[in-house]
Chain A
């Protein structure tokens, strides 16, 4: 378990910044994001639509809360859950041979591939470190 407070602060800023940016880049065009979700061929059309309306806001709120340090453990829990979900989703997509953009950063998104899997793995490690940090103010 990481106890170094400045390292934990850096983790918060990295994960928070990534999620805040991801949310802001998607929030303006929910239909485009819904299509990106559909491209993974996992959820139904309706679920994709509703997820596209809500998920960017979850990312924006969690990102802002992690950056500011308010509500950091609940935010870290949500972010960890989301990242675990993304990792499974990307893994399944690669295994099924589906060639699609991840849709993570709106029009700046790149392919759902191994590199993205590794990136999300690092972010998950950072967010879990924040969630289980021992210090009072990570």
Chain B
């Protein structure tokens, strides 16, 4: 068995795949090079109205009481602490669609968050909410960790409003 030949063949397959992948998704790759998809993997064409926000914007929406805050973490974590007035919609129970509809009109702004850092629940739930009909969805990237660390209003327990 000639391993040199086998490895060379495998390299050729990877090279061909890379060329095919870049050719097939060249517009997407171009957008990536221009800076899109660096923080989230939402396609603005597929998920219009879905944006990532930071602490300042989350705080602004919280103070104005314009938005419904949605906690996408498991119920147990919500119970231990959450953003004041947030409702619990754990991703683990709502992966494909919402199990029970939210008491909020589709036109209202919703802010989805999870732990922060590299947590992915908020982005996945944001896509579910988009499928349900919500059109102004903000994903708060800093999440619970940043909100609590910076001393913003929180609550404990499971008295979801």
Interface residues of A (CB under 8 A from B): 27, 30-32, 34-35, 38-39, 41, 45-46, 48-49, 53-58, 60-62, 65, 71, 73-75, 77-78, 81, 99-100, 131-132
In the complex the two chains form, is B20's CB within 8 Å of A57's CB?
yes
Contacts of B29 in A (CB 8 A): 53
CA distance A85 to B8 in the complex (A): 20
Contacts of A45 in B (CB 8 A): 38-39, 41
Number of A-B contacts (CB under 8 A): 89
In the complex the two chains form, is B41's CB within 8 Å of A31's CB?
yes
Interface residues of B (CB under 8 A from A): 1, 5-10, 12-14, 16-18, 20-22, 24-25, 28-29, 32, 37-39, 41-43, 46, 92, 118, 120, 123-124
CA distance A100 to B118 in the complex (A): 14
A selection of 29 A-B contacts at a CB cut-off of 8 Å is A27-B24, A30-B21, A31-B28, A31-B37, A32-B41, A35-B41, A45-B39, A46-B38, A49-B37, A53-B28, A54-B21, A56-B21, A57-B17, A57-B21, A58-B13, A58-B17, A61-B13, A73-B1, A73-B9, A74-B5, A74-B6, A74-B12, A74-B13, A75-B9, A75-B10, A75-B13, A77-B6, A77-B7, A132-B1
In the complex the two chains form, is A35's CB within 8 Å of B120's CB?
yes
| Given A30-B25, A38-B118, A53-B22, 8 new contacts (CB under 8 A) | A54-B21, A71-B9, A74-B7, A74-B8, A74-B9, A74-B13, A75-B13, A81-B10
CA distance A71 to B92 in the complex (A): 42
In the complex the two chains form, is B28's CB within 8 Å of A65's CB?
no
Q: With A45-B39, A73-B9, A78-B10 in contact, is A99–B92 under 8 Å at CB?
A: yes
